[in-house]
Amino acid sequence: MKTRLNKTLQIMLLVSGIIVLSIFISCNQETKTPDHEPMKMETEQSNSTIVREGMIDLMMIDENKDGMVYQDPMDWNVISDEPGRCPLCKMELKEVTVKEAKENLLKHSYKVK
């Protein structure tokens, strides 16, 4: 008598466990995928335009012609005319004069116009 009751209880527990688990898994699969990816793509695309390649033209980068630009002290070729963050290392860009930016680039063997 005692063992039979135990067995039915065990089966009931097992079945309810499986049901709960399958509900949990199907809910997780539905909510996970669509949310994250579009936002990540947008921010990466808009930021990567300040990563300069090849010959760097500081006069072109200094759009408002105030003689100041924002440069990343980790990645010297990340330069913007506006304050922001480096898309590569997420560091805040430091405000420097165009002359300083040019010297920094030449020191680290980048090509400057």
**Residue ranges binding Zn ion (CB under 5 A):** 72, 74-75, 86, 88-89, 91
Place of tokens 């990645």: 75
Q: Which residue is nearest to Zn ion (CB)?
A: 86
Closest approach of Zn ion to the CB of residue 75, in Å: 4
**Which of residues 66 and 92 has its CB atom nearest to Zn ion in the complex?**
92
**Which of residues 25 and 89 has its CB atom nearest to Zn ion in the complex?**
89
Residue 3, token pair as written in the block: 């063992």
Closest approach of Zn ion to the CB of residue 86, in Å: 3
Q: From the CB of residue 13, how many other CB atoms can be counted at a distance below 10 Å?
A: 10
Closest approach of Zn ion to the CB of residue 72, in Å: 4
**CB neighbour list of residue 95: distance below 8 Å, 6 or more residues apart:** 68, 69, 70, 83
Residue 84, token pair as written in the block: 């922001």
